[in-house]
A = this chain, B = another copy of it.
Amino acid sequence: MGIRHVALFRWLPDTTPEQVAEVERRLGELPGQIPELRAYAFGADVGVSTGNFDFAVVADVDDVDGFRAYRDHPEHQKVLGVISALLAERAAVQFPITR
């Protein structure tokens, strides 16, 4: 068993592509900094559906402890600081997966 963490973001209306690119750059560094991450995928919505959120992060870890280590890691907390300044809305779930 593993745990998949999913977080979806809707950005504030005046969020710029450069700000989103900076979020992506910082998220891209996390797998090298947080050993508990088993798989990590993130990206902007491709615009194929109406009413979607703008961005998704999907992190796979071994267990709840692995999720807490990711969630509380200083480097992740720094990125959350950048993200939260741009955030209009957030939805998240952590659910069990077979790995």
Contacts and interface: CB of A to CB of B under 8 A. Distances in A.
Contacts of A53: 91-93
A69 interface: no
Contact of A4 (B41, B67, B94): B41
Classify chain A's interface size.
20 to 34
Contacts of A91: 8, 10, 52-53, 89, 91
A73 B61 CA distance: 31
A44 B95 CA distance: 6
Contact of A46 (B45, B49, B94): B94
A93 B55 contact: yes
A2 to B, nearest CB: 10
